[in-house]
Amino acid sequence: MALNVVALAGGVGGAKFAYGLSQILDPGRLTVIVNTGDDFWHLGLRICPDLDTVMYTLAGVVDPVNGWGVAGDTTHTLQALGRYGAATWFRLGDQDMATHILRTDWLRGGRNLTDITQELAQRLGVCQTILPMADAPVATMVDTVEHGEIGFQEYFVMRRWQPVVRGLRLEGIESAKVTDAAAAALAAADAIIIGPSNPWLSIGPILAVPGMLDAIVKRPVPRVAITPIIRGRSVKGPASKLMAELGYEPSARTVAEYYAAVINGFVCDERDAGMEIPVPHAAIFDTMMRSNADRVALARKVLDWINGWRSDVRLGDHPR
Amino acid sequence: MALNVVALAGGVGGAKFAYGLSQILDPGRLTVIVNTGDDFWHLGLRICPDLDTVMYTLAGVVDPVNGWGVAGDTTHTLQALGRYGAATWFRLGDQDMATHILRTDWLRGGRNLTDITQELAQRLGVCQTILPMADAPVATMVDTVEHGEIGFQEYFVMRRWQPVVRGLRLEGIESAKVTDAAAAALAAADAIIIGPSNPWLSIGPILAVPGMLDAIVKRPVPRVAITPIIRGRSVKGPASKLMAELGYEPSARTVAEYYAAVINGFVCDERDAGMEIPVPHAAIFDTMMRSNADRVALARKVLDWINGWRSDVRLGDHPR
């Protein structure tokens, strides 16, 4: 399909939907802007979990069971690190380690994350453009009842998102800015699609990059979000638990409201048919993506639906 | 044996002899001062090949065929680095990688190489003390006829020591100094033994550390070198080739002459019986170490021999 699409994505859910888009859009038409609030330094390596999940997914090498990491990867280095008494709670595969080693070396050499991400992806044969939300480091800090404020990976991986969250803070966000590459992709986009990622933990940081919201909202094109919540539950991960802890009712409608200042279209799951969505354009599809075929089918439905109304969108045509 | 021994070692040969010593000396009695002129930065990691070879050997996890690296190690990360187009000429095992990752992280955190080496070795269960020759980085640069001056690992690993050497230079040696730990070990030594490592490439850099020669020579104890040359040939590696290229006759006698200002004892191989060695104390043993039993047997012979004359050594008792 000859449509320029920018997708916003966090980890597994957003990556799966991006994979669907990648199979339908013509080569060079898809840009994925990825959350980097999860990035962290670990054992001296710069680890960018969401960028890697999107990259491995688009490269077709992602572990199909976990949805992250490299299929069939081993953990010999991690086990050896454990014998040295080093932290092993963050699972690092041996093939995956190559990504972290090269990225870290290139970062320390002065290259920016945008360039590095492009080069890694190209070398893995990815034909789509994968962009970090910003080149400056941003760290999503999670304020928890049990442990106070902790780093994202401590919350998400080490503590398996069990702590009760009372707030979020994006460390370094004031120094981040929309990259030239992201600005150009958004300026050329025929549609902007927010994947079914965690709105608060994955998409929130992207939208919080100074200049990002404006760069998105000023575009007179479909700006669509796919719900990550079905019948009040996250498809994967802590979204619904987090929403409840932050005082929101966990529902697709709440997600649509969260994005209300950004989107003009919203995709609900068919299991929530009948739910009132306060967005100009709403669609109901089966959004569960269990297989690659599901991902491609959902992407096709969403793109066909968007194509049906995208010529109606006018500049300033926005609910708020 | 209740003797404090300091051994000087490069990679495989010195490590094997150190292993022999470790099996005979009482716990805590052996200190190995190791060449770090081979150390280099590679893919953003600080790699110390000789320190690791000595550590893996004393820990009993060294690859018995190569004499370096971890037994049974895999190379999944290296292969993945290769898929990214990164250099793969320096073989890095997956378990081995943990050593480089931790060392690099700790170095970047401000710890010195002496502390780091001790901690890594202790965590691998090594009961002996392994010390780098210096904490400051020193790089052995090899001036070759074919490629001009190249780094040690480019000469040794990438080009398999095939280039013709016309000179050596120790970059950074003027900033290096004998560490407190090395000085203390030498001051307490009942014997100092130079292992059968390459005199020019492995032991030369250790002796070139400002203050090292003095710290060794002032000790009124046996200071013994084991020949790495048997019948004019290196047991392993480029020693005899290098000697010829630098204008020396490749022989055990040449090695003894090279060390003449340092040693008062020298161990020749039995295959060179009859060779005149210009050193006060000389011994003839089978110095080939094909098995751990050979290593222990040679170490015992050398220590027994040293014990026979160590009470005769007087301060200033030196041939030159």
CB contact under 8 A, A83 and B124: yes
Pick the residue from chain B with its C-alpha nearest to A106. Answer: B44
Give the separation between CA A152 and CA A178, rounded to whole angstroms: 22
* A254, A32 Cβ separation under 8 angstroms: no
- DSSP, residue by residue, B173-214: GGG----HHHHHHHHT-SEEEE-SS-IIIIIHHHHHSTTHHH
Q: What is the pLDDT of residue B236?
A: 85
Which residue on chain A is closest to B79 by alpha carbon? A95
Chain B residues in contact with A43 by the CB 8 A cut-off are 101-102, 105
| Paired sense of beta strands B139-144 and B148-151, if any | antiparallel
Closest approach of B57 to chain A, Cα-based (Å) = 16
Q: Which residue of chain B has the CA closest to A44?
A: B105
Q: Nearest-CA neighbor of A228 among A242, A212, A207? A: A242
B95 and A101: CB-CB below 8 Å? no
Domains and CATH numbers, chain A: 5-140+172-312 (3.40.50.10680)
Q: Which amino acid is at A51?
A: L
pLDDT (tens digit per residue) in A300-315: 999 999 999 998 897 6
* Whole-number average pLDDT of chain A: 95
Residue A310 main-chain phi, psi, to 5 deg: -70, -25
Interior/surface letters A175-213, b for 16+ CB within 10 angstroms, e for the rest: ebbbbebbeebbeebbbbbbbbbbbbbbbbbbbbbeebe
| pLDDT score at B314 | 75
Give the minimum alpha-carbon distance from B92 to chain A in angstroms, rounded to a whole number: 11
Q: What is the pLDDT of residue A39?
A: 97
**In this complex, do A84 and B43 lie within 8 Å of one another by their Cβ atoms?**
no
Q: Do B108 and A76 touch (CB under 8 A)?
A: no
Chain B neighbors of A102, CB-CB under 8 A: 43, 81, 84, 86
* pLDDT confidence bin for A316, thresholds 50/70/90: low
Q: pLDDT band for A282, please (50, 70, 90 cuts).
A: very high
Q: Is A246 on the interface with B (CB under 8 A)?
A: no
Nearest chain B residue to A118 by CA distance is B84
- Give the closest residue to B9 by CA, choosing from B203, B221, B291: B203
Residue-by-residue pLDDT tens, chain B, 320 positions: 889 999 999 989 999 999 999 999 998 999 999 999 999 999 999 999 999 999 999 999 999 999 999 999 999 999 999 999 999 999 999 999 999 999 999 999 999 999 999 999 999 999 999 999 999 999 999 999 999 999 999 999 999 999 999 999 999 999 999 999 999 999 999 999 999 999 999 999 999 999 999 999 999 999 999 999 999 999 888 999 999 999 999 999 999 999 999 999 999 999 999 999 999 999 999 999 999 999 999 999 999 999 999 998 976 655 44
As a whole number of angstroms, the distance between CA A226 and CA A288 comes to 11
Contacts of A98 in chain B (CB under 8 A): 77-78, 80-81, 83-84, 86
Among B101, B103, B118, B120, most A C-beta atoms within 10 A, so best to mutate, is B101
A 117-146 → B contacts, CB under 8 A? 120, 123-124
Contact assignment for B101 to A74 by CB distance below 8 Å: no
Q: How far apart are CA B56 and CA A42, in angstroms?
A: 25
Both structure tokens of A288: 């569960």
Tokens of A26: 């013509």
Q: How many CB pairs under 8 A join A and B?
A: 93
Question: What are the chain B neighbours of A72 within 8 Å (beta carbons)?
Answer: none
Q: How far is A97 from chain B (nearest CA, A)?
A: 6
Chain B residues with CB-CB distance to A88 below 8 A? none
Cβ atoms of B69 and B62 closer than 8 Å:
yes
At residue A163, φ and ψ (nearest 5 deg) are -60, 150
